[in-house]
Structure 1
Amino acid sequence: MRVTKFSLKYIVWQILVGISIAISLIDAPLAFVLDFPLKQSTLLLDGIMTSIFIIDFFINHFFGPEGKNKKNRLRSSAFWIDLLASIPFDLIAYWFNLPHWLRILRLIRVLRMLKFVQMFVTIGNLAIIPSAVKAAFVISGTLITINAIGCGWLWIYPPGEVDQVTAYIKAIYWTITTVATIGYGDITPSDNLGRIFTMFVMVGGVVMYGIVIGSISKMIEASSRHKEQSKTKLNDLRLFVEHYALPEGLSNEIFSFYGHILTKRLSENDEQIIAELPIALQRDIKTYMNMKLISNVPAFKLCSIECLKDIAKSLQQMAYSPGEKIITTGDIGSEMFIIGHGSVEVFVGSNSVANLKSGQFFGEIALLEEVKRTADVVSQTYCDLYKLSKDNFLNLIKKYPELLKNMEKFMAKKLSALKE
């Protein structure tokens, strides 16, 4: 099955490739300017990076979302960049004992920066990518840029007698103070090439500073947008209640209802978002939302995925206001309830015996036996309940015998616990 740009596996793979590119973009210029010797660790890193790049090359140009365009493949600059970046230059130099200066070829991997930028833009625009991943890409891009500028400084002013670690730290220190436009003046260019390089870094630093701050601000705003909308909604509601001098009891009911709505949904547009999708997708979304709910029910935990899907499709959503009776003592039960949101209280006579909250359930005995209800169940808050009727349950156990076995085992354990 061909992967798509929006499939989870493809996105995870692209994130892994992005990490590999980031490591390669830091390692390649650093190894070049400091002239690192070829060690086992260097060769191992080169082998791992190369393996990832080769796999990514075939995914992108032969098997992935863009792999169908065979005619334009050889004309694509991305094809040749990915191909060149997949060559294991360190391993080739080691195996064939090539001249040391040929290691400059590994800088070809810096061309992968173009792909990193493309991935950065793509991930930044995808709403399905978590903010933490986007923040990681911003931080990675910043570190790569700082490292590249620092390596440029080391290329202009080699370490000489100074040890490499100290020289690199000084180069990064100079880079950060210059990019941040602080410029203490303790490290300065001593020739025209260095001064020209510094001027470009200063100008680029202003641009980079704006990009980083803008990206982080955008992510913070996006992550807190729902909270701000909720605060605005509740503040408007408070002003409305005060303006019309509504009674305290009525205003409490209004705030309770809106509190229920705001905690139940991600945003006010939830229903609209789902409604704009095709009917088939709407059904699938609601089924999987219900599956998440019933997967926490002990009697359903051992059921197969197909069984859970059919149970989820059989659920009927019910809404109850605070104080509304859901189950009455003495009635013949014909359904069980799962609490999607809110809380209920269970009474035996006038005594409260239990408080049930989201994810819990009640009335399940009615699915197995035709008995009278032995308790009253009353909603404490605004509740969203999901009802599974006995008729639907009987149809389900015909198709999935394991469901009946699981339910009977669960009921036996529950009755045994009650007797103890």
Structure 2
Amino acid sequence: MYVMRMLDPNSRWKEAWDLIQALAILLASIEIPVRIAFQPELTGWHLTAEAIVTVLFLADVGLNFFTAVPHRNRLITDRRYVARTYLKTWFVPDLLAALPLFLLPGVWEAGRMVKTLHLLHLNRLLKLTRVVHNIVDWQRHQLINAGIFRLVFVGFGILLIAHWIACGWILIGGVGPTAGDLDTYVDALYWTITTLTTVGYGDITPDGRWEKLYTMMVMVAGVGCYGYVIGNIASMLANLDLVRSAQLKKIDQVDALLKYRRVPPMLRQEVKDYYEHVFESHATPQDEALLAELPLALR
């Protein structure tokens, strides 16, 4: 009897599989809101695409029961432990995202088919939480600068949220008659950006009750989002190079002390040059303290 061996989560094959899953859900997170907003007529291509995504997601659920679990710098391959860990963590959202809801009885009936099926796609977005977790975990293992990664990650997240809000604005009829779907989407995205950034030029305004309620919710969210983004960008830019930031802070402190002691400018510059030379050619006490925490085998 063949028993599938446990998979290494850090293997190239598993990383490639996770990348395919990430691309599938990221594309779905962009495409599903568009389908809900514009509600195009369904074709055989839609059914084929849904079947492919369902197979991919169900296969991922199965593979996770055969993927070793990292724990304290080692991989645990005990099948019961792996299954128990997966069932307690990502099994429920993964399974819900993989369910082929488009095959439910009555979904394809005339008159109800289009609206119902497009809304049933929303369960796919549950997979997005797992993808975010995998991307953050991948960043830690690839040793990518955390500041740069966070900057790109937050930027993409803002664009994705703006895309969702724009599609919601289209769905409730916030955009008037336009030349085509592309113009409709551009107008909706334009309204979203101006509202989220609290600019609000006023050339696109809500008319009905639902549009006004939707606008108020977006405006409230925009105030919080704007403050969060600005604060995080400032923090991320300041922390792109933590070592250099600490060095500059040290030099500024020394320079402030020399100014207070009324040291001549030439001597102050020589002291600053000395510190620059030390920082470039020697490890700082902070560096040595960090390395001292490592075991001898890793120093």
**TM-score, L = length of structure 1:** 0.51
The amino acid of 1:86's aligned partner reads: A
Aligned to 1:347: none
Aligned to 1:191: 208
Give per-residue Cα distances to partners, 1:140-178, cap 9 Å, x unaligned. 110111111111111100768531111111111111111
Aligned to 2:29: 25
How many Å separate the matches in 2 of 1:73 and 1:204?
Answer: 34
Aligned to 1:34: 38
- Structure 1 counterpart of 2:121, from 93, 106, 123: 106
Q: Secondary structure at the match of 2:202?
A: coil
How many Å separate the matches in 2 of 1:11 and 1:209?
Answer: 34
The yes-or-no answer on 1:147 pairing with 2:147 is no
Give per-residue Cα distances to partners, 1:25-47, cap 9 Å, x unaligned. 11111122212456798788767
How many Å separate the matches in 2 of 1:139 and 1:170?
Answer: 21
How many Å separate the matches in 1 of 2:120 and 2:238?
Answer: 43
Work out whether residues 24 and 53 of structure 2, in 8 Å CA contact, stay in contact via their aligned partners in 1: yes
Aligned to 1:84: 96
Work out whether residues 2 and 65 of structure 1, in 8 Å CA contact, stay in contact via their aligned partners in 2: no
CA-CA distance at 1:115 after TM superposition: 3.8
Map 1:324-339 to 2 at 5 A: none
User: Which one has the bigger helix percentage?
Assistant: 2
Map 1:4-403 to 2 at 5 A: 18=22, 20-37=24-41, 53-54=57-58, 56-58=60-62, 60=64, 62-65=66-69, 68-71=81-84, 73-74=86-87, 78-87=90-99, 98-99=108-109, 100-101=113-114, 102-115=117-130, 128-130=143-145, 131-157=147-173, 162=178, 163-236=180-253, 258-264=275-281, 268-282=285-299
The amino acid of 1:21's aligned partner reads: I
How many Å separate the matches in 2 of 1:274 and 1:11?
Answer: 30
Give per-residue Cα distances to partners, 1:364-396, cap 9 Å, x unaligned. xxxxxxxxxxxxxxxxxxxxxxxxxxxxxxxxx
The amino acid of 1:28's aligned partner reads: I
Work out whether residues 97 and 127 of structure 2, in 8 Å CA contact, stay in contact via their aligned partners in 1: yes
Residue 128 to residue 25, structure 1, CA distance change in 2 (3 Å): same
User: Which one has the bigger strand percentage?
Assistant: 1
Work out whether residues 32 and 103 of structure 1, in 8 Å CA contact, stay in contact via their aligned partners in 2: yes
How many Å separate the matches in 1 of 2:239 and 2:15?
Answer: 20
Work out whether residues 22 and 131 of structure 2, in 8 Å CA contact, stay in contact via their aligned partners in 1: yes
The amino acid of 1:80's aligned partner reads: V
Q: How many residues align?
A: 272
How many Å separate the matches in 1 of 2:16 and 2:272?
Answer: 42
How many Å separate the matches in 1 of 2:129 and 2:193?
Answer: 23
The amino acid of 2:25's aligned partner reads: I
Give per-residue Cα distances to partners, 1:333-377, cap 9 Å, x unaligned. xxxxxxxxxxxxxxxxxxxxxxxxxxxxxxxxxxxxxxxxxxxxx
Q: Secondary structure at the match of 2:69?
A: coil
CA-CA distance at 1:204 after TM superposition: 0.9
How many Å separate the matches in 1 of 2:258 and 2:231?
Answer: 38
Give per-residue Cα distances to partners, 1:287-345, cap 9 Å, x unaligned. xxxxxxxxxxxxxxxxxxxxxxxxxxxxxxxxxxxxxxxxxxxxxxxxxxxxxxxxxxx
**TM-score, L = length of structure 2:** 0.69
The amino acid of 1:182's aligned partner reads: V
How many Å separate the matches in 2 of 1:199 and 1:54?
Answer: 39
* Relative contact order, higher structure (CA 8 A, sep 6+): 2
The amino acid of 2:120's aligned partner reads: L
How many Å separate the matches in 2 of 1:11 and 1:273?
Answer: 31
How many Å separate the matches in 2 of 1:22 and 1:256?
Answer: 50
Residue 140 to residue 53, structure 1, CA distance change in 2 (3 Å): farther
CA-CA distance at 1:281 after TM superposition: 2.4
Unaligned runs of 5+ in 2: 1-5, 71-78
Residue 203 to residue 14, structure 1, CA distance change in 2 (3 Å): farther
How many Å separate the matches in 2 of 1:214 and 1:168?
Answer: 29
CA-CA distance at 1:279 after TM superposition: 2.1
Work out whether residues 189 and 195 of structure 1, in 8 Å CA contact, stay in contact via their aligned partners in 2: yes
Give per-residue Cα distances to partners, 1:241-273, cap 9 Å, x unaligned. 886979x99x96x77764444124675422211
Give per-residue Cα distances to partners, 1:56-93, cap 9 Å, x unaligned. 545555415378353465565x3122123235678x79
Task: Tell me how large the CA RMSD over aligned residues is.
Answer: 4.4
The amino acid of 1:157's aligned partner reads: G
Residue 200 to residue 124, structure 1, CA distance change in 2 (3 Å): farther
How many Å separate the matches in 1 of 2:196 and 2:8?
Answer: 41
CA-CA distance at 1:213 after TM superposition: 1.8
